[in-house]
Structure 1
Amino acid sequence: MPRPALGYATTVVAAGFFAVNGTVSTLALQAGIPATRLTALRCAGAAVALLVVLALVSPGRLRTSRRELPLLTVLGVVGVALTQFLYYVAIGRLPVGIALVFEMTAPVLIALYVWLVRRERVRSRLWGALLLSLSGLVFVAEVWQGGGSLDPLGVAAALAAAVCLATYYLLGERGAATRDPVGLTCWSFVAAALFWSVAAPWWEFDAGVLGERVPVSIGSLELPLWVLVAWIVVLGAVVPFWLSISALRHLPPTTAGLVATVEPVLASVVAWLWVEQVLSGWQVLGGFVVLVGIVLAQTARAEAPAPLPETPAHV
């Protein structure tokens, strides 16, 4: 039987794991590991973990056909590999919460796409969502301060990540209509891992750097870099993914997506407490306005499909 309280709790916990992962990833990037390599490690680690778990628990979910290969390829390369890479570029130049606010405008892009291209009927609240999102981003960027107070490349990467994330959900929506979403997401991770094995060949990676001890901004504590990478793979991808999937057994997809918008709030709090990333009052106000716009966009489609959870799993 559905247990809404459990669904709410599971969704919030998943958002919390994703939020902490933003700061852990920032620490790994600051330690000197390139965004390309960190993305490759995360995609490969998550792909292996999901393949092993599904092979042991539910091998039927791994069945696929050659007809699905083009969809899985684009889903993995654009929706997973590039989304994650651009997110890492963004958080390397922007506060984690700000980067997530920009990336989370994906629901607005999705609603506009299905209205303009697919000619789907959308509710009038879409225009309020668009206005609020654009207005909020103006406050977040503080554009009146000499053209903006944020790194331009970081902003561009975060917005490009939003486009890639919207693509992921639109393609995932089509794929999930004919097959299990868990297996679909697993193969998308596999496609992403294969892409990065070509784009960032493993033989060019000095695995010895994973043994180097790096500061983690907790007093004088230092940990091996591989500990951060293991967190990013297991607790930053696999565990919150399964929690997001589990939540959909107890909550409607739209409700789960709305609850998951707490992620940038949690991410900002974690980054503030952990690495002292302080946001201005205007940025906090802008982030709140954007989140209100995202909430409206989440419900703008007349018949919103079930989301396909991934990082960030908030759409």
Structure 2
Amino acid sequence: MSRTARPALGYAFTLASAGLFAINGTVSTLALEAGIPPTRLTALRCTGAALVLLGALAVFSRDRLRVHRRELPLLAVFGVVGVAMTQFLYYVAIGRLPVGIALVFEMTAPVFIALYVWLVRREAVRSRLWLALLLSLSGLVLVAQVWEGGGSLDAVGVGAALAAALCLATYYLVGERGTVGRDPVTLTCWSFVAAALFWAAAAPWWAFDAGVLGESVPLSLGDLRAPLWVLIGWICVLGAVAPFWLSISALPHLPPTTAGLVATVEPVFASIVAWLWVEQVLTGWQVAGGLVVLTGIALAQTARAHSADRAEPPLLPEVPAPLSS
């Protein structure tokens, strides 16, 4: 029996997902400031999310966990580039930039995707792509305030955020292939597993002093402090798994393009949370530039033609809902 679409519920799920992702940006910033390096924080998040998803599928749908050998190369690329590196570079960026600004740079991924399918795949794109590109570049110029001595933002942070956008674009393009033979939930589960294995090799667990997770760290809420493991738990569960499930749950009720456009409010939410929580204040030019970039992203989301014939990739932390391809 088919489920009746309830658009209001789809909007609520998408906005709730964007809100949790936005809060997670500030929580992750606090963890970074507490001394957890980006490599270790990414490893903790990927491993925690992988364990939760593996556990849920093992209990409720064990058959979906089967993996064929021919899937391993795709899962490796999807997990290492699309998940592990996207999250690592995002953490590098938010360690050096305001959370909302880092997200604005990272969410330019739809523009890179549209350019890739036009230049490499030779697919038809709508003329709005050029306006999307112009708006995105103009907005980034405003965000960076390049007229102020070469820019007011940290160059390494900007580079990391743009590299994260390229990795995110790879995630979507590889995800298009992956969802042909596998559902989004199990594909994302195995991508987290691949990311966790990558970080286990790149940042071995025996080199990590787990005792630091018990240390009390400031929460930037008056004198309130909490053990570091509380922040890590939030990042894994409420910053990854929960918003992922909310995003997936929205798709039966909203077209993917609509969900993607609604999810572009994430940098706005993230900027508000960071402003209220850790007093990350943006300039007027940066706010204006961010809005211009988001307008360009919205156009890029719908720039590719013949969207109905393609599968939609699943979702990940710090990304919009699936792009209409």
TM-score range, shorter chain: over 0.9
Structure-2 separation of matches of 1:52 and 1:313: 24
Structure-1 separation of matches of 2:63 and 2:137: 44
- Show the counterpart of 2:36: 33
Structure-1 separation of matches of 2:253 and 2:66: 26
What is the aligned counterpart of 2:201 among 194, 198, 201?
Answer: 198
Structure-1 separation of matches of 2:118 and 2:85: 25
Structure-2 separation of matches of 1:59 and 1:117: 38
- Show the counterpart of 1:18: 21
Matches within 5 A, 1:64-143: 64-143=67-146
Q: Secondary structure at the match of 2:96?
A: coil
Contact 1:247 1:256 in 2 (8 A): yes
Contact 2:38 2:92 in 1 (8 A): yes
The reply to whether residue 294 of structure 1 matches residue 300 of structure 2 is: no
Contact 2:179 2:313 in 1 (8 A): no
Q: Secondary structure at the match of 1:99?
A: helix
- Show the counterpart of 1:171: 174
- Show the counterpart of 2:287: 284
What is the aligned counterpart of 1:311 among 307, 312, 317?
Answer: 317
Cα deviation, 1:176-234, whole Å, max 9, x if unaligned, reads 01211111110000000000000000000000000000001000001000000000000
Contact 2:178 2:313 in 1 (8 A): no
The reply to whether residue 63 of structure 1 matches residue 66 of structure 2 is: yes
Q: Secondary structure at the match of 1:118?
A: coil
Q: Secondary structure at the match of 2:226?
A: strand
Shift, 1:61, TM fit: 2.0
Q: Secondary structure at the match of 1:2?
A: coil
Structure-2 separation of matches of 1:10 and 1:175: 24
Q: Percent identity?
A: 77
- Show the counterpart of 2:56: 53
In structure 1, stretches of 5+ residues that fail to align are none
Structure-2 separation of matches of 1:308 and 1:166: 13
Q: Secondary structure at the match of 2:217?
A: strand
- Show the counterpart of 1:216: 219
What is the aligned counterpart of 1:275 among 262, 278, 289?
Answer: 278
Match of 1:282, as an amino acid? W
Contact 2:100 2:270 in 1 (8 A): yes
Q: Secondary structure at the match of 1:272?
A: helix
Structure-2 separation of matches of 1:20 and 1:130: 29
In structure 2, stretches of 5+ residues that fail to align are none
- Show the counterpart of 2:162: 159
Shift, 1:309, TM fit: 0.5
Aligned-residue RMSD, C-alpha: 0.7
Moved more, 305-314 or 121-130: 305-314
Structure-1 separation of matches of 2:243 and 2:136: 26
Structure-2 separation of matches of 1:93 and 1:44: 24
Shift, 1:313, TM fit: 3.1
Q: Secondary structure at the match of 1:42?
A: helix
Contact 1:241 1:313 in 2 (8 A): no
Structure-2 separation of matches of 1:307 and 1:190: 17
Moved more, 84-93 or 303-312: 303-312
Structure-2 separation of matches of 1:260 and 1:307: 15
Shift, 1:303, TM fit: 2.6
Contact 1:26 1:92 in 2 (8 A): yes
Contact 1:253 1:307 in 2 (8 A): no
Q: Secondary structure at the match of 1:223?
A: strand
TM-score by length of 2: 0.96
Contact 1:111 1:297 in 2 (8 A): yes
Contact 1:18 1:237 in 2 (8 A): yes
Structure-2 separation of matches of 1:14 and 1:60: 27
